[in-house]
Structure 1
Amino acid sequence: MKYLVRDRLLGIGDDYWIEDEQGHKAFFVDGKAMRLRETFELKDREGRVLIDIRAKVFSLRDAMTIERGGEALAVVRKKRFSLLRNHYRVRLVDGTELDVSGKILDREFVVEYEGEMLAHISRRWLRVRDTYGVDVVREEADPSLMIAIAVCVIRLAEKERLDGPVD
């Protein structure tokens, strides 16, 4: 299933809809302004919070946390030792690790688990400016989590581009 995400997802205070490939409203992004750290909620059509995304405040390396129901679900950060500049690691609380690699700033990358693709993020199949697609290719993969991972990785890559490498 493909989802269309506005490119400037992490603008503080931005609120908008993410649509499915048929153009139906699938998720609502509620950007929380006036907070000490970046905070966003990903909600379903009925307004229920599915995922909270927060920038980690006290961390040696930039990281973002993904929470569900007030409990940590995952931490996203740049992979420490990688020959690839655009390589990120998602560590789920159960110990599972997902790899994210590709051209992050170009919105051309994949999310994988043990070499198997879970989601493909791309602008290629879209004509809408400032929009990228999140194609959840594995049936058992959670679309809200894949969207949250894409958001976190893009935000971390953009922050590194603006601030310079952190490692």
Structure 2
Amino acid sequence: MLNVTFKQEPVTLVGPELKAGDKAPDFKVLSNGLEEVRLSDYDGKVKLISVVPSIDTGVCSDQTRRFNEEADKLDNVHVLTISMDLPFAQKRWCAANGIEKVDTLSDHRDADFGKNYGVLMQELRLLARSIFVVNSKNEITYVEYLPEVTNHPDYESALKAAKEAE
């Protein structure tokens, strides 16, 4: 079991701890247009899944901007940012921040992604900061669960893993 904190307070993660080599679990989330989106919608592509507690906070905002900037340098890689924010808030935030190369997806309805990827913080009903790289065969090739949710992920390692995944 992972030891994860939020502002130095321990939190309980709901769901399995995933590792490189695992089959990526399917999930259902909502697009900014309220359409249901699943992992299978990205079949045949490498997915860099950036998970943030709330897109409208400092580190989450920086993380989403960074992957948006890097998206053009990633061939056949689709960048997804998943949070518990409402789709309307994600859409508004993306428009205000010029985010056009990342799919922002909301797990607020069912917490399906959070439960399937082991990142739902039970005490806060937010997602723990994490990164998953999933290859075109839907196998996980890279995982980073941040021990302290308010810290930045290892951007370089995640980007390298996405570039190397097929």
TM over 0.5: no
TM-score scaled by structure 1? 0.28
Report which structure shows greater RCO (CA 8 Å, sep ≥6): 2
Higher normalized strand content (fraction of residues): 1
- Report the TM-score when normalising by structure 2: 0.28
Higher helix share: 2
